[in-house]
């Protein structure tokens, strides 16, 4: 009989631990989706009601009702299947366009997108800050284009000036793992998050990667496939792994055998 009672006690204890674990995981999930439980309910209710509606009709509904959950200065066009997390930390200026399957995750300090900027299909803007870093954010200026399937990670803070164009599959990663001790798992060694600044009128080619702690100067071009690991001065073209300046951009006459469209 004592053994039976002990077995029952152990089973009950295991059941309580499992219930607690499931509850803890549920609350952790909600904590990483919205700034509070009421916000989680409100945001997901709005998504359920209006997030799926296709065509310009859905864009119209979202332009009206998404104001209840995010900051919208003027009118922004948000396609269906756009995912927003911590929506109260997202600010969209007039003329912003978010294409289908884009994902904005905006922890504290959040995401700001300037007038007439476009975030193309499948892109990810992610301010994943659960270490309470004070400078985590993504700020995008006016008339920018974030190309298809690009990724911007804003733990260290990412600032894009005006008219910054990124081609498809670019990565702007303001975070890095510390790797100092082979005896300690990388995940337990911490991170650095210095931030990235890309000045006005920069063009970043397809598949390029911008690493943490970098500034790219005004008017420069990063070639396709380049990996930028050090600062790039203004008005140059940089290419390679790691990226190096290959020439300055200077005024010259266009090539006669090429047609230029405006």
Band (6; pLDDT cuts 50, 70, 90): very low
Measure Cα distances from 145 to 114, 205, 259 in Å.
11, 12, 23
Query: pLDDT tens-digit profile of 126-178?
Result: 998 778 888 899 999 999 999 999 999 999 999 999 999 999 999 999 999 99
Ranges 129-133, 181-185, 222-226: which has the least confidence: 129-133
Cross-strand bridge partners of residue 222: 204, 238
- Give the integer Cα–Cα distance in Å for 175 and 159: 14
Which tops the pLDDT comparison, 19 or 207? Answer: 207
Q: Is 177 a catalytic residue?
A: yes
Structural domain contains residue 255: no
Q: What percent of the chain has pLDDT over 70?
A: 92
Single out the catalytic residue among 101, 105, 126, 177: 177
Cross-strand bridge partners of residue 174: none
Average predicted confidence (pLDDT) for the chain: 91
Query: 53 lies in which domain range?
Result: 38-247
Listed residue (159, 157, 252) closest to 202, CA to CA: 159
- Give the integer Cα–Cα distance in Å for 168 and 164: 13
Q: How many domains does the chain have?
A: 1
- Give the integer Cα–Cα distance in Å for 224 and 206: 5
Structural domain contains residue 7: no
Rounded to two decimals, the pTM is 0.88
Structural domain contains residue 148: yes
- List CB contacts of 145: < 8 A, sequence separation 6 or more: 117, 118, 120, 164, 165, 166
Q: How many CB atoms lie within 10 A of CB 57?
A: 10
pLDDT of residue 108: 82
Band (8; pLDDT cuts 50, 70, 90): low
CA angle 132, 138, 139 (to 5 degrees): 135
DSSP string, 127-184: E---S--TT--EEE-TT-EE-TT-EEE-TT-EEE-TT-EE-TT-EEE--EE----TTS
Structural domain contains residue 132: yes
Q: What is the mean pLDDT of residues 235-241?
A: 97
Structural domain contains residue 4: no
Q: What is the mean pLDDT of residues 22-43?
A: 90
Structural domain contains residue 51: yes
């Amino acid at each position: 009989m004592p053994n039976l009672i002990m077995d029952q006690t152990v089973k009950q204890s295991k059941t309580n631990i499992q219930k607690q674990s499931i509850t803890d995981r549920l609350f952790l999930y909600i904590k990483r989706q919205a700034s509070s439980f009421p916000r989680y309910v409100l945001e997901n209710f709005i998504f359920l009601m209006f997030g799926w509606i296709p065509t310009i009709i859905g864009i119209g509904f979202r332009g009206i009702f998404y104001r209840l959950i995010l900051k919208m200065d003027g009118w922004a066009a948000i396609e269906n299947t756009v995912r927003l997390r911590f929506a109260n930390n997202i600010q969209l200026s007039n003329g912003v366009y978010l294409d289908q399957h884009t994902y904005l995750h905006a922890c504290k300090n959040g995401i700001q997108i300037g007038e007439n900027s476009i975030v193309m299909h499948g892109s990810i803007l992610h301010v994943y800050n659960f270490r309470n870093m004070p400078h985590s954010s993504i700020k995008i200026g006016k008339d920018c284009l974030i190309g298809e399937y690009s990724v911007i990670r804003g733990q260290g803070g990412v600032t894009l000036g005006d008219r910054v164009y990124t081609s498809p599959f670019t990565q702007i990663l303001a975070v890095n793992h510390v790797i100092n001790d082979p005896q300690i798992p990388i995940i337990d060694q911490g991170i650095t998050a210095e931030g990235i600044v890309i000045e006005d009128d920069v063009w970043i080619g397809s598949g390029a990667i911008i690493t943490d702690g970098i500034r790219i100067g005004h008017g420069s071009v990063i070639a396709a496939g380049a990996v930028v690991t050090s600062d790039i001065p203004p008005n140059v073209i940089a290419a390679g792994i790691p990226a190096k300046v290959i020439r300055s951009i200077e005024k010259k006459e266009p090539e006669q055998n090429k047609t230029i469209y405006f």
